[in-house]
């Protein structure tokens, strides 16, 4: 054996695995692809940034508070502030009366802490439905009726015969009180200019917290004046009356403002009206809001803060009685109120400074909210460990100033980045996280720690970590706000462009429009600034490599996925926040790839099941059934047979027939020819041709270039979530690089 037989030139080393090189190349290609995707994702998140002068409320002309109130009218602010203040006045009652209620009902301190803390969070359960209504119907009647119900349940709280009944009266009071968040904030944002919102929020909280701080003294005074073991009941009897009076005033004097008025005036320079708003889906609204990064950060931060915040009043009252010997309800109320009163004079200055800072630099305004939270981690232990009653009040003052100011300013931040159509749901979402997750979770933890270690330990163990976590998250979130404000600008500009096309240029609306769509599955973005239009009666083919985002676009159009930015329109109508069910009723129907039938049912039963969803007279349904049997004669021949007995191609025809029963405005077909034999494909193509002749608008996702060219008027080619080509199908066929990508799953050339 010569040396050339082993290890000579051109010989293969037997110790080396020949697959190692190919595996390494594959790994390198995957890593390069992922790096490219991440770069594209980072670029997509930054490319929509607008200069500061285009952001709503930024670098705008300064307004005095008086000027802002004059523009929107004083009545709305005064009425809503009075209603909020009366609710706040009642809200602190259970904290002050907790020891007396405990004695009357004979329950543990932990039980009273739970009812007292949870009662401050019950209104979250009303915030969601009221926010949902506020984005769909007129808001003024919601305010009036909710305020009337609130006053009635307040009186019933005084009539409670045991702790269980008190729990439920507080529950219902909270439900009615929810309009203060979901509806009031939406009304104020649409009534008054952006430049005074922080001062309005500060002024509203000044009066609200002022009466809330008077509440311990007033409630304690009423209880003492009534006398007896159950004098605490009279506090709720008395407080229910003024709320009823103001509810009647709200019905008479409040006026409904136009939604998004000041954002439109500030960004667009003109006021345009959404003439035919589509019904907003709660699920889609929440999904969109949670994809706005500054909102997501605020939700997490204030959820953490809620674990300590809502239990502080009740824990403080019990601490004063157990540790400092303050047994009189009036004295406890006075001590609890003093530090809060010191915070009130600061609010107007904070509001003025915040409005000025937001006009100059919105990110610094956002960071300020977090910086006001962080010092609570220091002041909470000082308040409970230093100096008895005097230390409790003295160290509570800076904590009250900073916390009250932070909560007053977070509202204007949320109003700025929430799309104006979703203001009610935006307030409801923040309330849900802050009060339900933080407040109710904090109530349970505070009750447990109080029963095992006392109220002081509960206040310390909850207060320190939540202040650090919540404040740090808010400071970090400041880097997102400019980009999120840009999303607001882009959506408004799209609305203006659409308005100009229809009203100024007189162009008819396309059947479907998709504009500026970004979409992610979790942290992985798969669509980047996708946009196109489909004219009435047109057949559009969506082509591209595997994983290019073709099926994801159909999900966005049909409402099965909510984009983090961008707009979907049906016949010019914005349906971005419309549920899949409502989109189906409006005429967007999708034939999914794969199984689309019920195998155990007959062909006729499959069709009849789909027909049950059609809100039409029986004769109309019969007509549609006859039409689909004409389109698919082989289905008519097997109408009594179970769907499982059909071939794969016949089942695909049945699935298509089920969709066509609904007479769609826009028909979406995912993977038209997937898994079908050439003979069946030819029959399906004939059906598509018949639908085209009847004027059916279609979007078809297709892997086969030949099939796509046979059925489509126009084609779009997608690669890595971006549109690489739009034009006539014949033009795509002439593009060798794109055609090869469709055939072979990668770029040609």
Q: Is the pLDDT of residue 45 over 60?
A: no
* pLDDT-derived band at 12, boundaries 50, 70, 90: very low
Number of neighbouring beta carbons within 10 Å of residue 135: 29
* Average of per-residue pLDDT values in the chain: 83
The residue among 140, 165, 429, 407 whose CA lies nearest residue 256 is 140
What was the pLDDT predicted at 1? 41
* pLDDT-derived band at 410, boundaries 50, 70, 90: confident
H-assigned helices in 361-422: 362-373, 376-385, 388-394, 396-417
pLDDT tens digit string along 697-724? Answer: 999 987 777 887 888 889 998 988 999 8
Q: How far, rounded to the nearest angstrom, does the alpha carbon of residue 152 sit from its chain's CA centroid?
A: 31
Q: CB–CB of 228/373 below 8 Å?
A: no
Q: Is the pLDDT of residue 423 over 50?
A: yes
The answer for residues whose C-beta is within 8 angstroms of residue 343's C-beta and 6 or more apart is 209, 397, 400, 401, 403, 404, 405
Q: CB–CB of 108/160 below 8 Å?
A: no
Q: CB–CB of 124/274 below 8 Å?
A: no
What was the pLDDT predicted at 2? 40
The upper half-sphere exposure of residue 646, i.e. CA atoms within 13 Å in the direction of its Cβ, equals 31
Which whole number is the average pLDDT over 175-180? 86
Residues 748 and 606: their CA atoms lie apart, in Å, by: 43
Residues 345 and 351: their CA atoms lie apart, in Å, by: 11
Number of neighbouring beta carbons within 10 Å of residue 453: 12
Residues 724 and 721: their CA atoms lie apart, in Å, by: 9
Least confident of 41-45, 81-85, 256-260: 41-45
What was the pLDDT predicted at 37? 54
The residue among 92, 198, 103 whose CA lies nearest residue 154 is 92
Residues 353 and 623: their CA atoms lie apart, in Å, by: 67
Angle at 488 between CA 486 and CA 493, to 5 degrees: 95
Q: Which residue has the higher pLDDT, 12 or 579?
A: 579
Which whole number is the average pLDDT over 74-91? 86
What was the pLDDT predicted at 353? 94
What was the pLDDT predicted at 116? 67
End-to-end Cα separation, the chain, in angstroms = 46
Q: Which residue has the higher pLDDT, 380 or 7?
A: 380
Helix (H) or strand (E) holding 355: helix 347-360
Q: CB–CB of 628/691 below 8 Å?
A: no
Q: Is the pLDDT of residue 747 over 50?
A: no
Which whole number is the average pLDDT over 539-565? 90
The answer for residues whose C-beta is within 8 angstroms of residue 219's C-beta and 6 or more apart is 92, 93, 96, 97, 232, 235, 239, 329, 333
Residues 568 and 577: their CA atoms lie apart, in Å, by: 9
Residues 237 and 181: their CA atoms lie apart, in Å, by: 24
What was the pLDDT predicted at 568? 95
* Strand order from edge to edge, sheet including 588-591: 588-591, 666-670, 697-701, 539-544, 714-719, 722-728
What was the pLDDT predicted at 473? 93
Q: Which residues pair with 590 in a beta bridge?
A: 668
Q: Which residues pair with 520 in a beta bridge?
A: 525
Residues 599 and 586: their CA atoms lie apart, in Å, by: 28
What was the pLDDT predicted at 5? 41
* pLDDT-derived band at 540, boundaries 50, 70, 90: very high
What was the pLDDT predicted at 462? 87
Which whole number is the average pLDDT over 639-644? 87
What was the pLDDT predicted at 482? 92
**Dihedral (Cα; 566, 569, 573, 574), 10-degree rounding:** -20
Residue that the structure tokens 């349970």 belong to: 444
Q: Is the pLDDT of residue 4 over 50?
A: no
Angle (deg, nearest 10), helices 293-309 and 455-477: 170
Distances (CA, A) of 294 to 89, 372, 475: 32, 17, 10
* pLDDT-derived band at 746, boundaries 50, 70, 90: very low
Q: Is the pLDDT of residue 8 over 50?
A: no
What was the pLDDT predicted at 29? 55
Number of neighbouring beta carbons within 10 Å of residue 546: 8
pTM value is 0.80
Which whole number is the average pLDDT over 211-236? 76
Q: Which residue has the higher pLDDT, 4 or 235?
A: 235
Q: CB–CB of 565/419 below 8 Å?
A: no
Tokens of 387: 């100096």
* pLDDT-derived band at 566, boundaries 50, 70, 90: very high
pLDDT tens digit string along 661-688? Answer: 888 999 999 877 777 777 778 888 888 8
Q: Is the pLDDT of residue 359 over 90?
A: yes
Domains of the chain: 65-258+281-486 (1.20.1250.20), 509-744 (3.40.50.300)
Q: Which residue has the higher pLDDT, 409 or 729?
A: 409
Name the percent of the chain lying above pLDDT 90: 31
pLDDT tens digit string along 588-612? Answer: 999 876 667 888 899 888 888 888 7
What was the pLDDT predicted at 580? 92
pLDDT tens digit string along 85-140? Answer: 888 777 667 777 777 787 788 777 777 777 766 666 677 778 889 999 999 999 99
Least confident of 205-214, 532-541, 653-662, 709-718: 205-214
């Amino acid at each position: 054996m010569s040396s050339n037989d082993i290890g000579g030139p051109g010989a293969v080393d037997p110790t080396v695995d020949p697959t190692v090189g190919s595996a390494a190349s594959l790994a390198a290609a995957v890593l390069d692809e992922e790096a490219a995707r991440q770069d594209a994702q980072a670029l997509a998140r930054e490319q929509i940034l607008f200069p500061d002068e285009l952001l709503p409320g930024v670098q705008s002309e300064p307004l005095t508070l008086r000027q802002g109130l004059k523009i929107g009218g004083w009545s709305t602010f005064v009425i809503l502030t009075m209603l909020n203040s009366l609710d706040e006045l009642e809200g602190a009652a259970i904290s002050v009366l907790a020891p007396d209620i405990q004695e009357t009902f004979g329950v543990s301190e932990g039980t009273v802490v739970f009812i007292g803390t949870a009662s401050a969070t019950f209104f979250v359960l009303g915030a969601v439905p009221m926010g949902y209504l506020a984005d769909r119907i007129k808001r003024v009647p919601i305010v009036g009726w909710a305020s009337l119900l609130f006053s009635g349940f307040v009186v019933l709280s005084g009539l409670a015969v045991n702790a269980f009944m008190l729990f439920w009266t507080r529950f219902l009071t909270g439900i009615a009180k929810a309009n203060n968040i979901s509806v009031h904030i939406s009304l104020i944002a649409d009534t008054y200019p952006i430049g005074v919102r922080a001062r309005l929020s500060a002024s509203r909280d000044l009066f609200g917290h002022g009466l809330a701080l008077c509440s311990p003294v007033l409630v304690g005074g009423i209880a003492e004046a009534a006398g007896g073991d159950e004098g605490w009941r009279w506090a709720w009897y008395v407080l229910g009356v003024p709320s009823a009076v103001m509810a009647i005033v709200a019905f008479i004097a409040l006026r409904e403002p136009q939604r998004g008025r000041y954002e439109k005036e500030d960004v667009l320079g003109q006021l345009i009206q959404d003439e035919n708003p589509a019904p907003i889906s709660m699920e889609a609204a929440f999904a969109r809001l949670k994809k706005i990064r500054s909102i997501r950060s605020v939700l997490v931060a204030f959820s953490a803060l809620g674990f300590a915040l809502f239990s502080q009043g009740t824990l403080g009252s019990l601490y004063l009685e157990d540790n400092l010997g303050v047994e009189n309800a009036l004295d406890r109320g006075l001590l609890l109120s003093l530090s809060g009163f010191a915070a009130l004079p600061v609010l107007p200055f904070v509001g003025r400074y915040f409005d000025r800072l937001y006009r100059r630099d919105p990110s610094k305004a956002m960071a300020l909210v977090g910086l006001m939270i962080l010092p609570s981690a220091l002041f909470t232990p000082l308040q409970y460990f230093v100096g008895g009653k005097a230390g409790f009040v003295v160290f509570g003052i800076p904590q009250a100033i900073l916390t009250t100011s932070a909560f007053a300013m977070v509202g204007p931040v949320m109003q700025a980045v929430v799309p104006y159509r979703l203001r009610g749901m935006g307030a409801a979402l923040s309330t849900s996280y802050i009060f339900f997750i933080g407040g109710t979770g904090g109530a349970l933890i505070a009750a447990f720690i109080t029963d095992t270690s006392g109220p002081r330990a509960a206040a310390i163990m909850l207060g320190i970590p939540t202040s650090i976590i919540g404040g740090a998250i808010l400071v970090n979130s400041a880097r997102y706000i400019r980009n999120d404000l840009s999303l607001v600008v882009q959506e408004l500009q799209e609305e203006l462009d659409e308005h100009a096309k229809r009203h100024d240029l007189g162009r008819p609306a396309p059947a479907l429009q998709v504009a500026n769509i970004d979409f992610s599955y979790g942290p992985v973005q798969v669509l980047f600034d996708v946009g196109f239009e489909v004219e009435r009666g047109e057949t559009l083919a969506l082509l591209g490599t595997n994983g290019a985002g073709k099926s994801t676009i159909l999900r966005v159009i049909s409402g099965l996925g909510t984009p983090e930015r961008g707009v979907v329109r049906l016949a010019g109508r914005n349906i971005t926040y419309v549920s899949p069910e409502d989109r189906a009723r409006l005429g967007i129907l999708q034939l999914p790839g794969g199984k689309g039938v019920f195998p155990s049912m007959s062909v006729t039963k499959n069709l009849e099941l789909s027909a049950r969803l059609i809100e039409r007279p029986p004769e109309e349904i019969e007509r549609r059934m006859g039409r689909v049997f004409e389109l698919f004669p082989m289905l008519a021949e097997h109408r009594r047979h179970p769907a499982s007995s059909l071939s794969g191609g016949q089942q695909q025809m049945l699935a298509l027939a089920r969709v066509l029963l609904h007479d769609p405005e826009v028909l979406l077909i995912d993977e038209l020819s997937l898994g079908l034999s050439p003979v069946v494909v030819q029959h399906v193509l004939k059906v598509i041709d018949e639908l085209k002749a009847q004027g059916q608008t279609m979007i078809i996702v297709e892997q086969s270039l030949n099939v796509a060219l046979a059925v489509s008027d126009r084609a779009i080619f997608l690669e890595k979530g971006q549109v690489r080509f739009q034009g006539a199908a014949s033009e795509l066929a002439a593009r060798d690089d794109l055609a090869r990508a469709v055939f072979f799953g990668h770029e040609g050339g």
